[in-house]
């Protein structure tokens, strides 16, 4: 039996690793399935753990108010190393590109423990966009032993970085597994669109690289969309970061067709995505989830490491330019041909069996 330690700290990591953890749990004769969380996103992380009924064996609870990236990174490296010393796993599984990911991978590397990187190979080639994620995932790629790439593009990017072919595996994206698992379960919505709304639009925006003037620009664009189009209703779960809350509250609060809510549980957001006419987001995960649901997505970023959705035609990069956001949104509202093309473009991120593939590969490699 091989000892597997899965380490994560944020809500997106938890969502994408939950299917892997659950799949590992279906093979108790092959794997000792251990989970460690850093608590990088405390409340939002716990909600996902509860939804997927995952109980961590080690909870480091490292996040503190007003904690900087360097401070968290230093604490995470030391704390994860202490867990590794105690557990002595055969492999550490990480996912994506957060500070938890790079520190966990580095701690494992220092102890010569194999690292399995889920969602490997995503690149923008712009070191500051997204920040700090682009450098986090490049460094994790340099440390990883097994690279579980979600798409052929990610495979190609890993090959371009001279990653050995024998260490690269095309698996699909585990976010599709999590989404399909969640859609099969009934959910009572805490917030919903009005029943008579013709164009319900779901918004999520929180990226660090958009803080300041770009974020104000996108908020003004959202206000324009509602004021110019009386059949539009926006629902916007607002991130807890004050750099998001202040401009959103100042610019968008008080409008009868703009609903600002607290951050939603993962299952709530998934079912709202399914009800939306279209989605405006700067979230990486939603760029992957929306195509599965057939929802056109406008990406509020200047670059994306998930260009597969753009190339497939189900997503469109609009950045944070006020006029471009408004114009592109209105085109989707009133041009049925354009909307139909985007909503039927299909998903390039797999069919929901990524976790099973990953666990099968681990079984082969660790045997």
Q: Which of 13, 97, 209, 288 is catalytic?
A: 97
- Picking from 7, 13, 1, the residue whose alpha carbon sits closest to that of residue 108 is 7
Q: Are strands 199-204 and 258-261 parallel, antiparallel or unpaired?
A: unpaired
For residues 303 and 123, the answer to whether their CB atoms sit within 8 Å is: no
Nearest residue to 89 via CA among 34, 146, 11: 34
Distance CA 52, CA 181 (A): 9
Q: Confirm if 148 and 358 have CB atoms less than 8 A apart.
A: yes
Q: In what order do the strands lie in the sheet with 258-261?
A: 258-261, 232-237, 199-204, 278-281, 297-299, 315-317
CA atoms within 13 A on the CB side of 289: 29
Sheet of strand 114-118: strand arrangement: 58-59, 31-37, 2-8, 91-95, 114-118, 146-149, 168-170
Looking at 119, 209, 289, 302, which residue is catalytic? Answer: 119
Residues 108-147 as b or e (16 or more Cβ within 10 Å = b): bbeeebbbbbbbbbbbbeeeebbebbbebbbbbbebbbbb
How many Å separate Cα 324 from the centre of its chain?
25
Q: Is 239 a catalytic residue?
A: yes
Catalytic residue among 13, 23, 133, 267: 133
Q: Is 208 a catalytic residue?
A: yes
Catalytic residue, from 3, 208, 255, 322: name it: 208
Set 153, 239, 301, 357: catalytic member: 239
Candidates 104, 284, 127; CA nearest to 207 is 284
Q: Is 133 among the residues known to form the active site?
A: yes
Reference 361, options 24, 105, 1; nearest CA is: 24
Instruction: Identify the active-site residue in 42, 206, 259, 306.
Output: 206
Hey, which residues are catalytic here?
Answer: 97, 119, 133, 206, 208, 239
């Amino acid at each position: 039996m091989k000892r597997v330690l899965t380490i994560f700290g944020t809500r997106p990591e938890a969502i994408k690793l939950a299917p892997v953890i659950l799949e590992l749990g279906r093979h108790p004769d092959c794997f000792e399935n251990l989970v460690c969380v850093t608590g990088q996103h405390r409340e939002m992380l716990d909600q996902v753990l509860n939804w997927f009924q995952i109980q961590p064996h080690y909870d480091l609870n490292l996040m503190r108010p007003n904690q900087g990236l360097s401070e968290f990174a230093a604490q995470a490296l030391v704390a994860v190393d202490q867990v590794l010393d105690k557990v002595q796993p055969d492999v550490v599984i990480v996912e994506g590109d957060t500070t938890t990911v790079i520190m966990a991978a580095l701690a494992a590397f220092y102890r010569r423990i194999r690292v399995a990187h889920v969602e490997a190979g995503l690149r923008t080639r712009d070191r500051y966009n997204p920040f700090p994620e682009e450098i986090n995932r490049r460094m994790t790629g340099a440390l990883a032993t097994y690279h579980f790439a979600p798409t052929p593009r990610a495979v190609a990017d890993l090959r371009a970085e001279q990653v050995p072919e024998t260490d690269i595996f095309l698996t699909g994206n585990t976010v599709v597994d999590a989404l399909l698992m969640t859609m099969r379960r009934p959910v009572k919505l805490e917030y919903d669109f009005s029943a008579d709304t013709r164009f319900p639009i779901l918004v999520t925006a929180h990226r660090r690289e958009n803080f300041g003037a770009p974020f104000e620009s996108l908020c003004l664009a959202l206000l324009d969309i509602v004021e110019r189009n009386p059949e539009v209703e926006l629902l916007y779960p607002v991130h807890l970061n004050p750099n998001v809350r202040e401009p959103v509250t100042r610019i968008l609060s008080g409008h009868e067709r703009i609903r600002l809510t607290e951050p939603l549980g993962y299952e709530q957001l998934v079912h709202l995505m399914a009800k939306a006419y279209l989605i405006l987001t700067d979230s990486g995960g939603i760029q992957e989830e929306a195509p599965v649901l057939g929802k056109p997505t406008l990406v509020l970023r200047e670059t994306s490491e998930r260009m597969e959705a753009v190339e497939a035609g189900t997503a469109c990069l609009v950045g944070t330019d006020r006029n471009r956001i408004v114009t592109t949104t209105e085109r989707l509202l009133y041009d049925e041909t354009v909307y139909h093309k985007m909503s039927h473009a299909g998903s390039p991120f797999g069919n929901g069996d990524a976790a099973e593939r990953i666990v099968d590969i681990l079984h082969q490699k660790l045997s």
